[in-house]
Structure formats: structure tokens, C-alpha cells
Amino acid sequence: MHTTWKDNIFRQREQLAHILHQPMASLAARCVAVWSDREGLNRVLAEGFPEIPHRAFLYCLGIDGVQISDNLGADGVESGHFGRDRSDRPYMREPVPPWGFLLSDAYISLRKRRPSLTALQMVWGDQGTLGYLGADFDLRDLPVTAELYREPDAWRQVKGDPAIRGTLFLQCRVESPMDRNLDRALSILGELLTERGVFQCQIHFSSSQATIWTLDDPYRYRILDQEALLDPDICLLYPPCRYPVDALIPSADIVQVLDRLKGLRLVDENIYLRQASLNLFNGMVGLTFSCDGSHYMPHGQFLGADTAFWFGVAM
């Protein structure tokens, strides 16, 4: 079962909070004795700075969100922040859990305009809550503790531009050069995908072009215009390549997928396929229709979907 990107973020935040909570709580306890002393707080924060992993800055805030220490960074005291009102910053608007530690949602920092987050540890004294120990983190400095996110292999539908959907039946498909030679163009793409090392392609039916990525040079794409898509000699530019054994789309299914794309392109004059994509390794087929709606689905589900699935009625 695949997890969502939000699940992965939650797990990573949970691990980061586990790393940060105890050292933040320990340092906050040492701040109590000098809470009303700016220089004393700066000294305690400087001494405790190495104890907080991955931090960029440390500081103390009153319960009202106004800073009562300077910023302490790797180079020592950074002036200009004492008395700063942070009460309107995103991390101050999040409720601190009962145990007194908050790892904020990520936000864009004011100074460097980079994704950042803040940890807040409540500081308690004999009279109750005194304020907060704050630690700012640049996301670039934080370790990635979660596994690499994988796209889910389930059908996903994304609605497009409402303006395009609203005028859907005022437009109709205009035959493109690729449409007039669709069998030849798709046969060439089939050869490239199954025999010539292409593992991903985007087919732009309306503009008669395709964008391809190859196993030998995966970080650069190549554009096949309408002339290239109609010339079988283009295959000579891409040497024969063994079909990848870890591809999720079997080689034998490529022709079926391309045939089904052809059908969706030509089936109706108003609702028709404008763009499609295939990726052999994640096994997904992407589709964008004239209504600007997009679909992403496993190739097996795509092959099993009949006309009624897409249009509600048999055509």
C-alpha cells in the first residue's frame, strides 16, 4: 500500500521532533534563571547553541511573542532582533501541544525567502508560563529521514481550467498533421519505447510532436516534431536497447496502450485526447482531454477502461 506525500511528511516531522524535543527542553530549563536578563539569555543561548542539532538561530520570546533576547547563530549574537514582535509569524499562530513543544509547519522565511520551520519550547517558571525558546531551521540544513516519496499507483483525476470546460462544446477537434498519419507516428513511438531505450514520452496530438527521455541520457529530453514523427529513419538515431527488466509496463502492452490512445484521440469531435504520457518504470499513463481534465492511471486499468468509462455512454 502506497503512502501519500502527506504521510511521508508526517513521518519525517515526527522523527525531527524526536531529535529536537529533549535538547530544546533542557536548554529552556536553563533559561529560567536569567529570563529577565537580555545578556544572561544571550550567554545561555550561546552556551547551548551546539546542543540543538541543525539549528540556524536561537532566541527567546515573551508570552506575547516579543523577542527578549538577541538572535544567537553560528557566528554569535546577531543584532537587530531584540524587541522584535514575532506574534504574527506562522509558527506563533499554531497551538503549542500540552507537553510544551511545537515543531511548526514549514513556511517561507522573511529574510532569505527560503522554506524554513521553527521549533518552539515553552519555558515554565514558578509563576507559570514565561514564554518560549525558539529555534529557526533552514530546510536545507535538516536531514531527510523519510524514504523517497513514490507516486501512488492509483487512478487520479485532476480538473483543469474552468474557462476551457465552460466552452467545451463551442470547440471541436481540428485535424493535425499527426492525426492524418497517426498509425505511422504511433508505430515509430512504439519502436522507440520497446526497442530503442525510450522510457518516457509525452505525446502532443494537437501540436504534432512528442517529447522523449532515453535510458542512456535520462536527464535530457528530446523533441520529435511532426517531420521526425513521420520518418521511420528517426529510429536510427537511437541504438537498440534491451527493454528494462524492471519496467512496470510489459513490452507486449505498449502497442495496446498506443492503440487505445489513438481511439481516445479520434472517438469524438468535442471531447478528445489532446496529450498523453507513458512512463515504463512507474507503469502510469497520463491523459489530458479537450476539457482540460487530466487523468493518471496504471496502464492495466487504462487498458481495461472502455469507452463508457471515459464518456459515460458507449460510442
Residue 23 pLDDT > 50, yes or no?
yes
Q: What is the pLDDT of residues 122-165, one digit of tens each?
A: 999 888 899 999 999 888 877 665 555 566 666 676 665 565 55
CA 108 from centroid of its chain's CA atoms: 16
Q: What is the pLDDT of residue 12?
A: 78
CA 79 from centroid of its chain's CA atoms: 36
Q: Mean per-residue pLDDT for 56-63?
A: 92
Q: At what angle do helices 38-48 and 5-31 cross, to 10 degrees?
A: 130
- The upper half-sphere exposure of residue 43, i.e. CA atoms within 13 Å in the direction of its Cβ, equals 9
**Mean pLDDT, the chain, whole residue set:** 86
Q: What is the pLDDT of residues 250-273, one digit of tens each?
A: 999 999 999 999 988 887 777 788
Q: What is the pLDDT of residue 4?
A: 67
Q: Mean per-residue pLDDT for 196-225?
A: 94
Four-point Cα dihedral 91, 92, 98, 103, nearest 10: 20
pLDDT bin (cut points 50, 70, 90) of residue 315 is very low
When computed from its CA atoms, the radius of gyration of the chain, rounded to whole angstroms, is 28
The rounded percent of the chain whose pLDDT value lies above 90 is 53
Which residues contact residue 43 at a Cβ distance below 8 angstroms, ignoring those fewer than 6 apart? 34
Residue 176 pLDDT > 50, yes or no?
yes
- The upper half-sphere exposure of residue 242, i.e. CA atoms within 13 Å in the direction of its Cβ, equals 3
| Residue 181 or residue 291, greater confidence | 181
Q: What is the pLDDT of residue 314?
A: 45
Q: Mean per-residue pLDDT for 110-126?
A: 88
Long-range contacts of 81-90 (CB under 8 A, 24+ apart): 82/38, 86/61, 86/134, 89/65, 89/118
Q: What is the pLDDT of residue 290?
A: 79
What domains lie within the chain, and their CATH numbers? Answer: 5-141 (3.30.450.20), 156-311 (no CATH)
Q: What is the pLDDT of residue 133?
A: 95
